[in-house]
Chains A and B, each alone.
Chain A
Amino acid sequence: MILFERVTKRYPNGREALRAASFSIDRGEMVFLTGRSGAGKSTVLKLIAMLERPTRGTVVVNGQNLGALKSRHLPAYRRTLGVVFQEHRLLDDRPVFDNVALPLVVAGAQPSELDKRVRAALDQVGLLGKERMLPNELSVGEQQRVGIARAVVGKPSVLIADEPTGNLDPALALEVMKLFKRFQDVGVTVIIATHDLHVVHEFGQRRIVLEDGQIQGSGEAPLPSMTATR
């Protein structure tokens, strides 16, 4: 379970990206964070990934109060997450296999297990057979799927994605979202920040709408404020 309790995040430049935002996400739930640019969607993901710490309020992930998390425990916490970026963040000089294997290498997985799990992750995203290719030899959609494989290979309990379909055409975007849905189906909590309301409507999952750092609404039905997020 993920819990935000009156969370405020003020950046050093004085901008308040979140203002007393409170919401909760159940274990195994798939949630879309929507809102205009600068509404605070990415800040929510940064706080969950501990890339930022809240200025005020409490963030709890799987029972762990992130405000009390010590720096030395941060790597172990991050291994429970899977993170997907719009720009993929792949290592261009490493083949697909090595990119996907990175979280397992970091976690000290044994070579035999590593090989098995990387192939399974690549199979899940439909890229088995391309493990020796370099990222720049793949299409944008394939690169995004490599990023997803890397995010899920460590069997995270929470998968967060920041604009994962931002660079994809609608058909590819739907394919990528179907992948996320499959991970939710096996019990992974999935949180996706997106502008793509077409995708949001298509999947009918719960939405948390942010505006100027505040929660404007939450629910599965189309929300009045969502038209403003287009």
Chain B
Amino acid sequence: MLGYLTHHARSLVGSLGRLARAPLATALTVLVIGLALALPLALGLFVANAMSATGGFTGAVDVSVYFKPDVAMSRVQQLAQAVRARAGVAAVEVISAEQALQEFRQYSGFGTALQGLGSNPLPNALHLRPAPDATSPADLDALRHYLSAWPEVDLVQVDSEWVLRFNAILALLRRVLGIAAILLGAGVLAVVGNTIRLEIQGRRTEIEVVRLVGGSTGFVRRPFLYTGMLYGLGGALLAWAMVGTAVMVLRAPVASLARLYGSGYSLQGVGLEAIGLVLGAGLGLGWLGAWLAAARHLRGIEPRA
């Protein structure tokens, strides 16, 4: 067991040494892998920041319930109580026809013209705010159906289309992120695989000797797997550094922009989960690329007499 572990340690140190002895080639390979991993990481961070920055949007979904003109205020209050008791409703505000007219007069700029009206044309209304976890299209549709079923109700208006569009854009971005991650992951596999293929070719004599003295395929493959993992890890660390630097550079301007809009929003950095994900992806892709290359190219190398 000690011998086995020692060989793992030797393989790791040997792989590190070989990478260090060819700094330029190693740096270029790590750079390519780093860029390939940085792009989905940056895109993921962009989506996360967009969701965070607009997190209040889902709370801004409004549902307006307009009652028929002959519905008394006392009945409106009763119905408001019933809606408050319903799950998925965060707040209910009763707006009387008089209150609505007053606000309209105040904010519309038609105050003088409105004084000419013989009666108040506005209905009593409820203004609902769904709970944040009840703003999905299905939840809102269910609420609309519930409210529309009341005979006193004339119109239910759900102001959610822009939220749905926004959510659709975020969903599209997440899908693009997934596709980009798959394509760029395949790119990392190709880069690592090709690099390992070249290394196998360069160490052909050594591989032949190792096989001749009884080295198993696993033994021969091990240093290449470590090399692949080191490339992947190096690329992942570089990707983290690149995206982290970009976040640092952008944080102040984004905060300034947010302040101009009256928001205290601050750009999110790369979280622990994302760091773990990118490091894991780098290690995993490096290992897989090296394994595939080793499986393909070691097969044909047998010792010569």
Residues of chain A having any CB pair with chain B under 8 Å: 42, 45-46, 49, 51-52, 75-79, 81, 83, 85, 89, 91, 102-103, 105-111, 114, 150, 154, 162
Contacts and interface: CB of A to CB of B under 8 A. Distances in A.
Contacts of A107: 3, 214
A154 B305 contact: no
Contact of B7 (A75, A89, A91, A105): A105
Contact of B205 (A52, A77, A83, A89): A89
Given A89-B209, A111-B6, A106 B214 contact: yes
28 contacts: A46-B305, A49-B212, A49-B303, A75-B217, A78-B211, A79-B214, A81-B214, A89-B205, A89-B208, A89-B209, A91-B205, A91-B206, A102-B209, A103-B214, A105-B10, A106-B213, A106-B214, A107-B3, A107-B214, A108-B4, A109-B3, A110-B2, A110-B3, A110-B6, A111-B2, A111-B3, A111-B6, A154-B214
Interface residues of B, number: 23
Contacts of B10: 105
A16 B216 CA distance: 30
Q: Which label, helix, strand, loop or mixed, suits the secondary structure of the B interface?
A: helix
A75 B2 contact: no
A106 B305 contact: no
Given A89-B209, A91-B205, A106 B215 contact: yes
Given A91-B206, A105-B7, A110-B6, A75 B214 contact: yes
B4 A51 contact: no
B159 interface: no
Contacts of A89: 205, 208-209, 212
B203 to A, nearest CB: 9
A80 B83 CA distance: 85
Nearest to A79: B214
Interface of B: 2-4, 6-7, 10, 205-206, 208-217, 219, 302-305
Given A51-B304, A51-B305, A102 B213 contact: yes
B214 A78 contact: yes
Nearest to A83: B212
For A81, A105, A106, the residue with the greatest tally of chain B CB atoms inside 10 Å of its CB is: A106
A85 B305 CA distance: 8
Nearest to B9: A111
Contacts of A105: 7, 10
Contacts of A78: 211-214
Contacts of B206: 91
Contacts of A162: 305
Given A78-B213, A154-B213, A108 B304 contact: no
For A105, A107, A111, the residue with the greatest tally of chain B CB atoms inside 10 Å of its CB is: A105
A37 to B, nearest CB: 14
